[in-house]
């Protein structure tokens, strides 16, 4: 059996609690760092660092460091910074595109790490399987005693690194935001952009090493990027995004752990799957940017356009009748539905075979027709279009002009009373 955690440790709730808590804290650390990586378009650098810390960890362990200890942390951070230095060096010295450079560097470093571990003498504290998918099995049993309680060492390390990362994030948040959204302006304003970026990379390395025992080197990218990307769909402010990302990560880690327990499989893989489901849910259900919200928004717009077109259509029929003509386009099916709705709504009245406008319907219809004809007047004055080209753009814009915009166009066009076709522009209601 290559992967651990397939055989769980009986049913002792305390042991499961410790393993789950460790996974949750680690996931929160990664989500915090990942938020900045995602908005700075450095997601794949996070992936590269996740793979590339392996040789740093392996060498530090071979040199006598204890997994989870400070020495191993230093080795991993060094490897992470080496990765970034190599990728940037290849670009500067060899003109290599960043993704190609990353593809060369992280695969090479990861391969070095795997070879070191495979060649290491038996009994070394690193298991090649754990490298790929983590191993929570032994975490609850390697404990230290604090205030008469046995606390797993990995949980302490995870909590400590989370505290350090959170403190660093709070202390440098404004600078991080400034650097993330406008690095050029930040540099001009005296922000040490290079140091901020290096700090973020070091933080990525710390979060990666802290989660190494839990998820391994390959799956850490799921913890770094997936909750942050889901949170980005749900939030419009960076600190809100970071908090949502951490919440999603903690929930995903707990549910993933429990599901892995239930299905008797690897916890890290299951956590990644649950985070993926969270992302899919966010992509579908997000209040502003979700697939549903946007489809609903488009439907609502189509319905409003149909209602407004029908009202304006009835208004034009009345106008044509008054001028002794009757050349009006037949309403579409959607517009006929809209007419029925407007009758219930009280904007239209059915009078024998024809529709008439109620006072309220007339006011709404005149607003639409006014928008339409004002836009035609503006186009006729500024766009130098032939007369028969004015109608289609106005037909589209009429649904989007507010009262303030209509007033400005009225001023711009010199308070004209008629549109370029010579028809009257109704007054503002």
Q: By the criterion CB under 8 A, which residues form the site for other proteins?
A: 1-3, 5-7, 38, 41-44, 46-47, 51, 90, 93-97, 99-100, 102-104, 107-108, 110-112, 114-115, 118-119, 128-129, 132-133, 218-219, 221-226, 228-229, 232-233, 260, 263-266, 268-273, 275-276, 279, 283, 289, 291
Give yes or no for a contact between 290 and 284, defined as CB atoms under 8 angstroms apart: yes
Q: Sign (positive/negative) of CA torsion 213, 219, 220, 224?
A: negative
CB-based contacts of 5, cutoff 8 Å, min separation 6: 134, 135, 136, 137, 260, 265, 266, 267, 268
If the CB atoms of residues 69 and 103 are measured against other proteins, the closer one turns out to be: 103
CA distance 88 to 93: 8
If the CB atoms of residues 61 and 268 are measured against other proteins, the closer one turns out to be: 268
CA distance 317 to 330: 11
Q: Min. distance of Cβ 225 from other proteins in angstroms?
A: 4
If the CB atoms of residues 225 and 409 are measured against other proteins, the closer one turns out to be: 225
Q: Min. distance of Cβ 223 from other proteins in angstroms?
A: 8
If the CB atoms of residues 295 and 321 are measured against other proteins, the closer one turns out to be: 295
Per-residue buried b or exposed e for 356-395, using 16+ beta carbons within 10 Å of the residue's own CB: ebeeebbebbbbbbbbbbbbbbbbbeeeeeeeeebbeebe
Q: Min. distance of Cβ 222 from other proteins in angstroms?
A: 3
CA distance 98 to 152: 40
DSSP labels, 234-282: H-SSHHHHHHHHHHHHHHHHHHHHHHHHHHTS-HHHHHHHHHHHHHHHH
Q: Min. distance of Cβ 269 from other proteins in angstroms?
A: 3
If the CB atoms of residues 98 and 395 are measured against other proteins, the closer one turns out to be: 98
Return the structure tokens found at 253: 């880690």
Q: How many CB atoms lie within 10 A of CB 273?
A: 17
Q: Min. distance of Cβ 29 from other proteins in angstroms?
A: 16
Give burial (CB, 10 Å; 0-12/13-18/19+) of 320: middle
If the CB atoms of residues 292 and 396 are measured against other proteins, the closer one turns out to be: 292
If the CB atoms of residues 13 and 94 are measured against other proteins, the closer one turns out to be: 94
Q: Min. distance of Cβ 9 from other proteins in angstroms?
A: 14
Q: Min. distance of Cβ 4 from other proteins in angstroms?
A: 9
If the CB atoms of residues 114 and 311 are measured against other proteins, the closer one turns out to be: 114
Q: Min. distance of Cβ 19 from other proteins in angstroms?
A: 15
CA distance 166 to 171: 8
DSSP-derived secondary structure letter, 387? G
Q: Min. distance of Cβ 130 from other proteins in angstroms?
A: 12
Q: How many CB atoms lie within 10 A of CB 259?
A: 15
If the CB atoms of residues 54 and 191 are measured against other proteins, the closer one turns out to be: 54
Q: Min. distance of Cβ 390 from other proteins in angstroms?
A: 32
> Residue 145: beta bridge partners?
150
Give yes or no for a contact between 338 and 310, defined as CB atoms under 8 angstroms apart: yes
CB-based contacts of 98, cutoff 8 Å, min separation 6: 87, 91
Give yes or no for a contact between 161 and 77, defined as CB atoms under 8 angstroms apart: no
CA distance 110 to 55: 7
If the CB atoms of residues 160 and 295 are measured against other proteins, the closer one turns out to be: 295
């Amino acid at each position: 059996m290559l992967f651990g955690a397939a055989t769980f440790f009986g049913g002792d709730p305390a042991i499961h609690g410790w393993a789950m808590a460790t996974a949750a804290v680690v996931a929160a650390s990664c989500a915090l760092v990942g938020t900045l990586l995602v908005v700075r378009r450095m997601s794949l650098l996070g992936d590269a660092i996740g793979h590339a810390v392996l040789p740093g960890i392996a060498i530090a362990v071979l040199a006598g460091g204890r997994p989870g200890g400070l020495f191993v942390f230093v080795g991993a951070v060094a490897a992470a910074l080496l990765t970034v230095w190599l990728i940037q060096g290849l670009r500067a010295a060899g003109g290599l595109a960043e993704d190609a450079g990353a593809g060369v560097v992280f695969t090479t470093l990861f391969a070095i790490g795997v070879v070191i571990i495979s060649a290491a003498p038996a009994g070394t504290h690193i298991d090649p399987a754990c490298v790929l998918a983590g191993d929570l099995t032994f975490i609850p049993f390697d404990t230290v005693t604090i205030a008469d309680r046995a606390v797993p060492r990995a949980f302490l390390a995870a909590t400590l690194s989370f505290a350090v990362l959170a403190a660093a994030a709070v202390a440098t948040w404004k600078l991080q935001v400034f650097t993330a959204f406008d690095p050029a302006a930040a540099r001009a304003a005296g922000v040490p952009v290079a140091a901020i970026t290096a700090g973020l990379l070091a933080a990525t390395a710390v979060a990666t090493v802290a989660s190494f025992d839990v998820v391994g080197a390959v799956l850490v990218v799921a913890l770094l990027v997936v909750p942050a990307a889901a949170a980005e769909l749900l939030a419009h402010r960076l600190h809100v995004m970071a908090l949502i990302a951490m919440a999603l990560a903690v929930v995903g880690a707990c549910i993933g752990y429990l599901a892995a327990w239930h299905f008797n499989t690897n916890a890290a893989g299951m956590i990644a799957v649950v985070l993926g489901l969270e992302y899919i849910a966010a992509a579908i259900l997000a209040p502003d940017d979700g697939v549903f919200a946007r489809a609903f928004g488009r439907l609502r717009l189509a319905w409003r356009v149909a209602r407004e077109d029908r009202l304006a259509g009835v208004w034009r029929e009345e106008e044509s009748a008054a001028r002794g003509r009757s050349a009006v386009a037949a309403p579409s099916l959607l517009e006929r539905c809209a007419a029925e709705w407007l009758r219930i709504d009280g904007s239209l009245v059915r009078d024998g075979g024809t529709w008439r406008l109620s006072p309220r319907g007339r006011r709404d219809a005149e607003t639409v027709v006014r928008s339409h004809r004002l836009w035609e007047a503006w186009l006729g004055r500024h766009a130098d279009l032939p007369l028969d080209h004015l109608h289609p753009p106005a037909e589209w814009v009429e649904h989007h002009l507010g009262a303030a915009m209509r007033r400005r166009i009225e001023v711009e066009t010199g308070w004209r009373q008629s549109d370029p076709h010579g028809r009257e522009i109704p007054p503002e209601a």
